[in-house]
């Protein structure tokens, strides 16, 4: 599964920006709803929340 960023992950350079596509390594649920997608960015895990992205095939 992949997600496409619909917003910048951080205001700093070097982090995912709007339009970047990330590979999802895990989906974390909270009470049956998606809490966040765990993705790898430059070898480090980051949490990408549903309001920051859209799921793509």
The domain that holds 37 is classified in CATH as 2.30.30
Of 51, 45, 33, the closest CA to residue 22 belongs to: 45
Residue 56: strand pairing partners: 2
Give the chain's domain count.
1
pLDDT tens string, the chain, 57 residues long: the values are 999 999 999 988 999 999 999 999 999 999 999 999 999 999 999 999 999 999 998
- According to the model, what pLDDT value does residue 46 have? 97
32 is in which domain, residue-wise? 2-56
pLDDT score recorded for residue 50 = 97
């Amino acid at each position: 599964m992949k997600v496409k960023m619909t917003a910048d992950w951080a205001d700093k350079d070097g982090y995912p920006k709007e339009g970047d596509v990330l590979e999802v390594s895990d989906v974390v649920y909270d009470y049956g709803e998606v809490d966040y997608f765990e993705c790898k960015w430059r070898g480090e895990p980051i949490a990408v929340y549903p309001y920051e992205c859209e799921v793509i095939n």
